[in-house]
Amino acid sequence: MPSDFSGIPDSNEYLRWKPSPPGRVESVDEDIHPSTDKEAAMQERKGVITFKGNPMTLLGPDIKTGDKAPDFRVVDTGLAPVTLADFKGKVKIISAVPSLDTPTCDTETRRFNQEAAKLPGNVVVLTVSLDLPFAQKRWCAAAGIDKVKTLSDYQDRSFASAYGVLIKELKLLSRSIFVVDGSDTVRYVQHVKEVSQEPDYAAALAAARGPA
């Protein structure tokens, strides 16, 4: 499998990272969204993930199985606001990814799009990233994504801060999966240890399907 994040430098070179060239998916960087007082006050969690082998820091709460799923406000590819309440009564597989414009995120989202067709009708698959919604829309059209709903957290980092998946050093979302049941209780949490690796699809899908 090709190395993920081939276009993103190691963390110690982050400040020299230039924006993606035209035509590629734009990721929100630190210049666009400077650190806020809210982020500065967030809980810091170390030892959970690495990026290219380098330890990273996650900002926000440690969401656990059994917790009430936090609300969030993101936007869809048409810039319409989307919240947790929009999926009331549905089982939700929420896949947080750093950027759709990287090999692993591309592979992961395509895989979930394939799997979504096999899931019960009450299950929805959501992919959240900091990519701009216009870029998400272009990527979905090019990749033929029609079962997964892509959502952008670029405006407020609402999902990132509520679910504890904002990488402090990179200002990107960590690769994580949350399965939330119809009553909005968290039933499964997976933080992929090395950001460049794919998640455990089978475990997440099994959690979404529920007891056999």
Structure tokens belonging to residue 31? 């210049």
**Cα separation, 149 vs 31, whole angstroms:** 28
**Cα separation, 41 vs 194, whole angstroms:** 25
Tell me if residue 132 falls in helix, strand or coil: coil
The two beta strands, 123-129 and 91-96, are parallel
Q: 60 with 162: CB under 8 angstroms?
A: yes
Which residue among 105, 128, 148, 162 is the active-site one?
105
Give helix then strand counts, H and E, for the chain.
5, 11
**Does the annotation count 140 as an active-site position?**
no
Sequence-separated (6 or more) residues with CB below 8 Å from residue 50: 56, 193, 194, 195
**Cα separation, 11 vs 41, whole angstroms:** 22
Active site amino acids:
105
